[in-house]
Amino acid sequence: MSFAPHTEEDIAQMLGALGLRGVDELFEELKATLPPGDVPEVGQTGEFELRRQLWDMARLNGRPDQTPCFRGAGAYEHYVPAAIPQLLSRGEFFTAYTPYQAEVSQGTLQAMYEFQTMVCELLGMEIANASMYDGASALAEAALMALRISKKRCLLVSDAIHPQWIDVLRTYTANVDAEIVSIPAREGITLPAAVASAIDENTAAVLIQNPNVFGIIEPIREIGYLLAEQSALFIVAAYPTTLGILASPGEAGADIAVAEGQPLGIPLSYGGPYVGLFGTKLEHVRQMPGRISGAAFDGKGRRGYVMTLQAREQHIRRERATSNICSNQALCALAVTIYLSLIGPSGLRTVAEQSYSVAHRLAERLSALPGCSLAYDAQFFNEFVLELPVSADDVERELWNHGIISGLPLGRWWPNHKNEMLFCATEIISDAAIHRLVAAMEEALS
């Protein structure tokens, strides 16, 4: 199956206009310079047959929607209202390009403007961009931005930030003049005192994630007060669903706020595409990476939207751009915009409260199991670390045999935490699923 519409007559007509006899003649110069490519033999497969083959491959993933999953760690399963995929499937949205021609892209540009507004509201920041690739790269770009603004080189990074996000941060900062210094998170929480003792005159920024990778709520307001006296910038990475209830980065005094937007209307997608949220203070707008949609007026006084401040971006500033980012995650950002419009402030609060409540019920049941206890005392939101009497990898395997995806064994990130598991629950976890989990855990532990 090919999507090229050219019949033999069409091709003959085009060749005729060019005075050529065959399409191959258009590649003469290349043939003179290069060997013919030894390309793989991939057969053409019709839609019906291919669909059947993909179905067989899909089944190797099991039925995720029938397999209760108690894992979070950066990707959270919240309910995706039915209207979202329906609206995203409109071809005017998903087959559009970047809105460089504003007059025919008002749909995309206005949606971007609305998205930016909602991100500002959630994160409590003055301005936001039209999205980054994901939360991890958004954090990395925030760090680079802080280095540019402060002209200092030291990044203080809490040990309680998601380790894979810290890996991405290291990759992005490997070739700039910067140093990453960790702030210890004893007892699973980043204490203001620990931040205070790590700061010095070389500190460009302090990076905190709230809730952190252990699910624990960080004291961001206290850390913010501390940093208000300092020149170091305060960067906070948030879990956006919790912002229906928890203090926003802006309220805590953050200079830059980022988040992984996936929990807001984007399915788990095996890790991507996701969407990075990025907000900051108005005074830093020219250092902010990413695209921005701004309101504008035409000759007849009609309001519309355009991509603005493009002089920051790669196609104008080239090697001095704030970032190299070009394509972002526009369709995913649209999903977030529609999600927040559908659930509204009270809906967001409900999702947050439900997630908190289900997770705490789960924690109570699991910590009552023989030999199990919560690893940390500090307040958590909807994720917690459970200490087991046995290897977490073994429990994971046992539970998979029961058709359940357990919490995440933490031995993969911290070798001396092999008996710990990071559990997550959201509003979609039913009582029946919890029951099933607890029963399976009991069996696995005996």
Partner 1 sequence: MNSATVFEKSRPGRGTSFISGHATPVCADLSPKALRSAPPRLPELTEGEVVRHYTNLSRNNWGVDVGFYPLGSCTMKYNPRLAEQIASWPEFSAAHPLRPVRAAQGFLRIMYETERILSRLCGMARFTLQPAAGAQGELCGMLIIRKHHATRRDRRNTVIVPDSAHGTNPATAALAGFKVVTCPSSDEGLVDIGALKKLVNDDLAGIMLTNPNTLGLFERDIREICYIVHNAGGLVYYDGANFNALVGRFRPGDMGFDVVHLNLHKTFGTPHGGGGPGSGPVGVVEKLEPHLPVPLITKGPEEFELEEHRPLSIGRLNAFAGNALVIVKAYIYMRLLGTAGLREVSGNSVLAANYLKQRLSEVYTPSHPGRCMHEFVLSAERHKNEAGVRAVDIAKRLIDLGFHPPTMYFPLTVPEALMIEPTETENLETLDAFVDALLQIDREARESPEMLHNAPHETPVGRLDEVEAAKNLNVRWQAEPSANTSHSQDASKRKDGQ
Partner 2 sequence: MNIPDDLKYTATHEWIRHTAEGVAVGISDYAQSELTDIVFVELPETGRALNPGEEICALESVKAVAYVYAPVAGTIAAVNERLTKEPELINQDPYGEGWIIRIAPADPEKTVDLLEASAYRQRLESEG
Binding mask 63-82 for partner 1 (x = CB under 8 A): xxx-x-x-x-xxx-x-x-x-
**Residue 194 CA: distances (Å) to CA of 14, 182, 198, 223:** 72, 10, 6, 10
Q: Please choose which of partner 2, partner 1, none residue 65 contacts, taking the beta carbon within 5 to 8 angstroms, the exact cut-off set by kind.
A: partner 1
Residue 437 in tokens: 């989990």
Cα distances from 186 to residues 9, 159, 189, 259, 367, in angstroms, run: 74, 9, 6, 24, 21
Contacts (CB under 8 A) with partner 2, residues 320-379:
320
DSSP class of residue 285?
G
Calculate the alpha carbon distances from 179 to 169, 182, 200, 301 in Å: 11, 10, 13, 50
Stretch 354-393: interaction string toward partner 1, x if CB under 8 A: x-xx--x------------------x--------------
Give the number of residues in contact with partner 1, rule: CB under 8 A: 206
Q: State the nearest-atom distance from the C-beta of 369 to partner 1, in Å.
A: 21
- Beta carbon nearer to partner 2, 53 or 231: 231
Decide: helix, strand or coil at residue 241: helix
Nearer to partner 2, 106 or 310 (CB): 310
Between 88 and 369, whose beta carbon lies closer to partner 1? Answer: 88
Window 144-173: contact mask with partner 1 (x via CB under 8 A) = x-----------------x-xx-xx-xxx-
Q: What is the CA radius of gyration of the chain?
A: 25
Q: Which amino acid is at 315?
A: H
Cα torsion at 168, 170, 176, 181 (round to 10°)?
Answer: 140
Q: x/- site string to partner 1, residues 244 to 283, per CB under 8 A?
A: xxxxx-xx-x------x------xxxxxxxx------xxx
Which tokens is 171 given? 């990759």
Which partner in partner 2, partner 1, none is near 431 (CB below 5 to 8 A by kind)? none
Minimum distance, C-beta of residue 320 to partner 2, in the bound complex (Å): 8
Cα pseudo-dihedral 166, 172, 176, 180, rounded to 10 = 0
Q: C-beta of 64: minimal distance to partner 1 in Å?
A: 4
Q: What is the DSSP letter of 380?
A: B
Interacting residue with partner 1 among 51, 52, 186, 435 (CB under 8 A) = 51
> How many residues lie near partner 2 (CB under 8 A)?
7
Residue 45 contacts partner 1 per CB under 8 A: yes
4 near partner 1 (CB under 8 A): yes
When binding is defined by CB under 8 A, the residue of 153, 182, 217, 367 that contacts partner 1 is: 217
**Residues 84, 343: contact at Cβ < 8 Å?**
no
Q: Pick from partner 1, partner 2, none: which does 432 bind, CB < 5 to 8 A by kind? A: none
Q: Say whether the peptide bond before residue 273 is cis (omega within 30 degrees of 0).
A: yes
Q: Does 304 bind partner 1 (CB under 8 A)?
A: yes
**Neighbouring C-beta atoms of residue 394, cutoff 10 Å:** 15
Question: Per rule CB under 8 A, is residue 57 in the interface with partner 1?
Answer: yes
Q: At its nearest, how many Å lie between partner 1 and the CB of residue 385?
A: 15
Draw the binding track, 264-303, toward partner 2 (x: CB under 8 A; -: no contact).
----------------------x-----------------
Quote the CA–CA distance of 423 and 214 in Å, as a whole number: 9
Residue 310 as a binder of partner 2 (CB under 8 A): the answer is yes
Which amino acid, 235?
A: I
For 5, the 3-state DSSP assignment is coil
Amino acid identity at 439: A
The secondary structure of 129-174 as a DSSP string is -S-BS-HHHHHHHHHHHHHHHH---EEEEETTS-HHHHHHHHHHHT
Within 108-127, which residues bind partner 1 (CB under 8 A)? 108, 110-111, 113-114, 116-118, 120-122, 124, 126-127
Residues in the site for partner 2, rule: CB under 8 A?
A: 286, 308, 310-311, 316-317, 320
